[in-house]
Amino acid sequence: MNTPDFIIVGAGSAGAALAYRLSADPSNRVLLLEAGPERHFWSDIPMGYARLLRNPQANWCYSSEAEAATDGRQLPVPRGRLLGGSSAINGLVFVRGQSHDYDTWAQLGNRGWSYDDVLPVFKRMESYAGGDDAFRGRSGPVKVTDPSSDDPLFQALIRAAGEVGIAHAEDYNGAVQDGISMSQATIYNGKRVSTAQSYLHPVRYRENLEIVTDAVTEQLLLDGKRCIGVRYRRGERTFEARANNEVILSAGSINSPQLLELSGIGQPGRLKALGIEVKHTLPGVGENLRDHYAPRTRWAIGAPRVAFNHRGRGLGLAAEISRYLLTGTGMIGMPAAPIRAFVRSREGLQAPDCLLGWVPLLYEPGNVVSEQSGVTCYAHPMRPESTGSVHIRSDDPHTPPAIRFNFLSSPPDVEVAVRAVRIARAIMTAPTMRALQTEELAPGSGRQSDAEILEWIKAAGETTYHPVGTCKMGQDERAVVDETLRVRGLAGLRVADASIMPTQISGNTNAPSIMIGEKASDLVLADVR
């Protein structure tokens, strides 16, 4: 390829969508760089995500810093490192978030990002058979499906939620999010629908699109206050690529701020201390990190063969493998948490502020399938106010950055986290679930006070792998990009991934990240037409 017009760094949820749209015009030459390989065997199989969460062949395998809110533990921070990025290793759940989330972005000064603005983009990107046409798309690249709710355990959970006042949700990606329902998933015909599958594989033939895998971008190339290209490494060789128009970072909430800092863009004192020449001052780079911090409540079920644990071992597992190979269904073809509830932690709230998700297996600490039958239910605030940071430790691009979540530093997050656990308890001890002989294993019936529950949350909580916000969009002094996703004060450089989210989304972040890539393509193309 001749000199590309656009260089996209990262072929994940946003980057793949962006490459697809920009290269649709044959006059645009697009170079897409991905640090990882083309694909991984386990990525195509829905339950294969369990084999990818700590697999360095498809995952950056980051860890957070030890903090008081995590009881001194370092938490795994998996990030996808292959075509499709984290959409190729995630739990396959498709959640847009609430209209309130996007309206908040607009109220913060980000014109063009209200719910009314982004809804057409969501509709354009998806293909979903259910729901109201006013809210859902039917012909987009991303296929979204509803897992079957026929299993008795799922039916029991829905009934139990109804017994404590939580109604069944018809379509949580539609007009309202409230209630309990099966998780919509990026699964089609028993296979994962990553952005590699939906956006990249169908267009590999385009002569104006070059996809380079195993290419680790190490630095942005700047000419004064303009980004003119990138330096990247493949194996032992280093390459430079120049862009006629723009470089677009879609490397995600960990790697995008890392690359900015490695290129001399960020907080001057921090960069100088590492021997990096300051090219451009942006104090917000790497700040505003947000994620969902969730403890996993654990429940034994005495009624025989209700939960799925017997399907995850021995002859049961063999039967599930056969079922999946023949039909593409069953446990192996499910998303990570096939049933979820969006609930309000107290009366008077305008919208849900808690998320509960059920895994139909009882896990022991360390994510080991228990020999005992039961379920695992995570419960957490959806819009955390606590913020942390991502910053480089050295000028070596291959050194993992320091990830500090600062979980539970905001008092409202503490209050909602405790209430979320109590709501999980209410559902799991409702009459329908009691009839299944449920027994609380964690936090345990002995922990009843707020202080006791909070102590357990700190000892048992984990990230839900939804980091956002480290190159936030906005107008304040801590904003890294403006509403057009241009890096403030620099020409020829944008960021388009979950890092631009000024606040956290009410749910999983894959769908909003794809939307950001789609919308970024509109913004870029508007400037070149």
Q: What is the dihedral of CA 251, 254, 255, 259, to 10 degrees?
A: 120
3-state class percentages of the chain: helix first, strand second, coil last, to nearest 5: 30, 25, 45
First-to-last alpha carbon distance for the chain, in angstroms, is 22
Choosing from 40, 292, 310, 466, the catalytic residue is: 466
Sequence-ordered alpha helix ranges (H) in 110-180 = 115-125, 152-163
Whole-angstrom Cα distance, residue 470 to residue 282?
A: 12
Q: Residue for token digits 């998320």?
A: 355
Contact (CB, 8 A) for 108 and 358: no
Contact (CB, 8 A) for 500 and 15: no
- CA-based max dimension of the chain: 69
Per the DSSP assignment, residues forming a β-bridge with 389 are 287, 404
Whole-angstrom Cα distance, residue 514 to residue 266?
A: 26
φ, ψ dihedrals at 308, nearest 5°? -100, 5
Whole-angstrom Cα distance, residue 512 to residue 86?
A: 13
- Kindly report whether the peptide bond that precedes residue 443 is cis, defined as omega within 30 degrees of 0: yes
Strand ranges (E), 302-437: 339-343, 354-359, 363-364, 368-369, 374-381, 388-391, 402-404
Whole-angstrom Cα distance, residue 472 to residue 478?
A: 8
The pair of structure tokens assigned to 496 is 């388009």
Of 503, 284, 476, which is closest to residue 413 (Cα–Cα)? 503
Other CB atoms within a 10 A radius of the CB of residue 162 amount to: 16
* Residue 466: active-site member: yes
**CA-to-CA dists, residue 132 to 175, 319, 429, angstroms:** 8, 37, 34
Q: Which residues are catalytic?
A: 466
